[in-house]
């Protein structure tokens, strides 16, 4: 899978992504819409980050997301018009 290009299968990032994708598949296969899976994943990630690093650090991270989204960092399939 393209998401995993350059990652060693023993790498903790690879393992984490694999586990998240497995849980996502299980959720959607059981009828949970992708949008709800996404919101649940964001909620879980943000609450965990706040508990580990504090609100100020997570606000700083979140503020940087707008630029990254706009430049297409999270766009897997681009269409050109």
For 8-63, the pLDDT digits (tens) are 777 898 999 999 999 999 999 999 999 999 999 999 999 999 999 999 999 999 99
Q: What's this model's pTM, rounded to 2 decimal places? A: 0.74
What DSSP designation does 36 have? H
Question: Which tokens belong to 64?
Answer: 């940087």
If we measure between CA atoms, which residue out of 45, 43, 49 comes closest to residue 17?
45
Encode burial over 13-27: b for 16+ CB neighbours within 10 A, e otherwise: eeeeeeeeeeebeeb
CA distance linking residue 59 with residue 77, whole number of Å: 28
4 or 34, which is more confident?
Answer: 34
In the chain, domain spans: 1-32, 33-81
């Amino acid at each position: 899978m393209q998401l995993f290009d350059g990652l060693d299968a023993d790498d903790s990032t690879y393992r984490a992504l694999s586990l998240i994708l497995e849980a996502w598949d299980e959720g959607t296969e059981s009828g949970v819409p992708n949008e709800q899976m996404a919101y649940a994943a964001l909620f879980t990630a943000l609450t965990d980050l706040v508990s580990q690093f504090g609100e100020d650090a997570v606000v700083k991270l979140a503020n940087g997301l707008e630029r990254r989204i706009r430049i297409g960092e999270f766009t897997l399939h681009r269409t050109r018009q």
